[in-house]
Every structure is written in structure tokens, then in C-alpha cells.
Amino acid sequence: MRFTPGGRSSNIEDRRGGGGGGFPMGGAGMGLGGALVMLVLSLLFGGNIFSGGGDGGTVPGPTGGGAPGAVATSDGAVQETPEERKEVELVSFVLDDAQRMWSQIFQQMGQPYRDARLVLFRRAVQSGCGTAQSAMGPFYCPIDQKVYIDLGFYDELARRFGAPGDFAQAYVLAHELGHHVQKQLGTEARVRQLQEQRPDAANDLSVRLELQADCYAGIWGNSMARSGSTNRGLDPGDAEEGLQAAASVGDDRLQRQQTGSVHPESFTHGTSAQRMTWFKRGFTSGDPRNCDTFAGAI
């Protein structure tokens, strides 16, 4: 992926030096195996952990996390590895570039676009939706309209989920910003209302919401592919990285990895095939009107 490194977005809140803090579980932290369980569950159900309630909740998990070697000093300043610094430059670019695109699209629709903020943290963080931890993976909180990520997640994405590459990392953030778009368009609120009115359809509605965020991530990918600039655009293989990232967090793939079986009735984000299909639809068309996952079959 082509971009000019070195900048840092003014919409980033860097809380990595805040100490974080772990979560108690009878006085002991969860082990690595438990952390991986939480990571898988959060990828499957993370869209509902926070958004359904007003005050969120505390989710138990490990006391570790974050990028290896990246620590906070006693005065709260951030020490980061060269690898983590590159990730900050990447997410800064994606955050600003994607939101610049969405601002233009909203302007064409005659609506204002309000930027989301990105919170970088380690181990644990307090959000407008409650307390969260690294093992939960990246998430968007519709209450404070912020995206939260521990950059250590990108190591998990590459090593454990088989989705390496800078555009795979960019897809993750573009997907979460897709939820911010849904928040501003009122889609998120309508879906939550329908879920309350029809609990039997709650999972299906959640899947449709997530697949639309995948499609919106593809919209940004399309803008990158069409750029033609030497310092902004995609390289050969980037589109495949995005598709692989989408596939790697499909409900069916994660359930099979975790339990050895698949339970479609519990899906909340969509299958690997569905996630790739809707990401590709946005990527190919570049038109948000092609991202209506609520009309017809998915």
C-alpha cells in the first residue's frame, strides 16, 4: 500500500502511556488460552458487546497485551518499538484518508460528516461504552463515536488468523469506520431498535450491519485503487490482502477453529464468503448505494 509515512492524525488519542490496568478474575489474570478465546468471541460477538447498552460493561480478560517491547514510562510518555511506530503511521493515514473520502461522499448527499476519533491503548481502556481490554480486538463505540485498538492486535491478525500485510491492517480500521458511517446515517440506531422489537432476528440484523461495514471498507479500498498517485494507492496483492483479512474473521472460520464445529444460528458477523463478497462489492463499485445489505438475501 502506498502512502507517505511520518504524519500523525489530529484525530488520534494516544492512551498507550496511561498504564491501562488489567481486569481481576478472582485475583488472577486469564492465561494466554483464555485470551485467545476472548479474542475469538469478541470478533464473533464484538459488534453486540458494547452497542446494545448505554453503559457497556466490564469484560474479564488477560492482564497482558500490546506490542512486545512497547511500554509506558513512569511519567506516562509512550515508548514504542520501530514496528509499532510504523503501525501508528499507517493507522494515522488510513484514519485521515478514509474520513476525507467519507466527508466528500456525505457532502454529495447534502449531509455533514463528523470525524470519528481513534484511541490507541494497551492492555485496557475506558470507553464511552464501558471498559474494554486488548483481547477483545478493535471496536467502535457508537456512544462516544470513537474507534479503539491495541496495535498488538495486528500481530494476532497476521500470526493466528493468517492475514498479514498493511492493507489487511487498513481493512480492519476501515471496517470500524464503516460503523461510524452507519452511526451518522442512523442505520445503527434503526438496527438496534429492530433488534429490541424482534429478538428472533437480532443475529441476522447484526450480520447485515457487519457486512455493510465490510462493504463500506471496500468503498475506501476502491478510492485507493483509483488514486493513481505515487504516494497514495494500492500495490499488486493489496486487494487480496483485504479479501484474506475479511475471510479470516468469518463466523464459520472462527467457530471451526475454536470449537471444531459451525453453528450458523449464532452468527453475528457473517461467513467468510459473505464478508469477502460484500467487501469486494464495495471495492469493485466504489458506490455506497451498492452496500444495502438489508434488502434481500445476503
Q: What is residue 79's predicted lDDT score, i.e. its pLDDT?
A: 82
Averaged pLDDT, 209-231: 95
Q: What is residue 134's predicted lDDT score, i.e. its pLDDT?
A: 87
Q: What is residue 77's predicted lDDT score, i.e. its pLDDT?
A: 65
Per-residue pLDDT band at 45 (split at 50, 70, 90) = very low
Q: What is residue 100's predicted lDDT score, i.e. its pLDDT?
A: 97
Q: What is the secondary structure of 255-279 as a DSSP string?
A: HHHHHSS--GGG-SS--HHHHHHHH
Q: What is residue 294's predicted lDDT score, i.e. its pLDDT?
A: 96
Q: What is residue 16's predicted lDDT score, i.e. its pLDDT?
A: 92
Per-residue pLDDT band at 61 (split at 50, 70, 90) = very low
Per-residue pLDDT band at 239 (split at 50, 70, 90) = very high
Q: What is the secondary structure of the chain as a DSSP string?
A: -EE-TT---TTEEE-TTS------STTS---HHHHHHHHHHHHHHHHHHTTTSSS-------S--SSTT--B-TTSPBP--HHHHHHHHHHHHHHHHHHHHHHHHHHHTT------EEEE-SSEEEETTEEEEGGG--EEETTTTEEEE-TTHHHHHHHTTS--SHHHHHHHHHHHHHHHHHHHHTHHHHHHHHHHH-GGGHHHHHHHHHHHHHHHHHHHHHHHHT---SSEE--TTHHHHHHHHHHHT-HHHHHHHHHSS--GGG-SS--HHHHHHHHHHHHHH--GGGG-TTSS--
Lookup: cell for 6: 511520518
Q: What is residue 23's predicted lDDT score, i.e. its pLDDT?
A: 32
Per-residue pLDDT band at 31 (split at 50, 70, 90) = very low
| pLDDT higher than threshold 50 for residue 20 | no
pTM (whole model) above 0.85: no
Q: Which amino acid is at 7?
A: G
Give dist(CA 269, CA 251) in Å, integer.
Answer: 6
| pLDDT higher than threshold 80 for residue 21 | no
Give dist(CA 215, CA 276) in Å, integer.
Answer: 9
Of the candidates 111, 47, 59, which has an alpha carbon nearest to the alpha carbon of residue 269? 47
| pLDDT higher than threshold 80 for residue 151 | yes
Break the chain into its structural domains and give their ranges. Answer: 2-291
Site of grid cell 443475529: 203
Mean predicted lDDT score pLDDT of the chain: 83
**Which region among 62-66, 116-120, 174-178 has the lowest average model confidence (pLDDT)?**
62-66
Give dist(CA 30, CA 25) in Å, integer.
Answer: 7
Residue 101 vs residue 29, higher pLDDT? 101
Residue 221 vs residue 68, higher pLDDT? 221
